[in-house]
Amino acid sequence: MTVPFQVDLTNKVAVVTGGSGVIGSYFAKALAECGAKVAVLGIDIDKANQVANEINESGGRAIAVNANVLERGELEQARGIIEEDLGTCDILINCAGGNNPRGTTDDEFYDIEAVKNNPDMKTFFDLDPKGIGFVFDLNFLGTLLPSQVFAQGMIGKKGSCIINVSSMNAFTPLTKIPAYSGAKAAISNFTQWLAVYFAKAGIRVNAIAPGFLVTEQNKNLLFNKDGSPSSRTKKILDSTPMGRFGEPEELLGGVLFLVSEQAASFVTGVVLPIDGGFSSYAGV
């Protein structure tokens, strides 16, 4: 992987939650390529080790750390390991998150006749409160708790920053996924709140809002079992002026801009869409 441009992150310590995932691993590798020492946090230590090993084999510096972003005790333990090995955190990327079928409806619009003809259809009325809570906690608390733990070491450090991962759902909620949409809207709001809170403490807080990428978590919504595009995919691409899905590496330019003290020293509280024009298009 080659970064789109270089920023100098020499001697910076970066923590990437969800760093063993597809998108998080791209962030971890890009930060390392720019000179940062990277802690790859994940609940799957084998996958986290794989990412860290790839970074080290490419000449970077990385360690894998096992931590659940919903468990403060595990995050604090991870912080101790990171500080002992790499130093205190300068850059926190809150990339852990995702959706769950328990927070997803089968229907886009409530249709009385359709429900009568298909009593097994999962509508808004059938959503599992625990499933909703899981999705919200994973995304919102999974951003708030790491920020609480790692920002303690950032106070007063020049160039410190936090980057959260919001979504297009935060601007306009998508059908079928109310829990995920609500959680991402909360992350955008929290990004602005935390930016104000830390403005005098030397920590910038921003977010990126990716458009549509194909991931393990959403591919069942985007493609049929035979691999053909679903009707939802057609709607998405018709609503994206660039007419295609994004690629994980296309998020890197925005992330590197936001972490760069030289480029973005006066940028805080921003939620940056990286969406192929989706958020700008009214459909007509």
Cα→Cα distances 33→6, 43, 153, Å: 8, 24, 23
CA distance 134 to 182: 12
Phi, psi of 252 (to 5 degrees): -70, -35
A 10 A CB-CB count for 243 gives: 10
Q: Is 180 a catalytic residue?
A: yes
One of 110, 180, 197, 281 is an active-site residue; which one? 180
Positions annotated as catalytic residues are 180
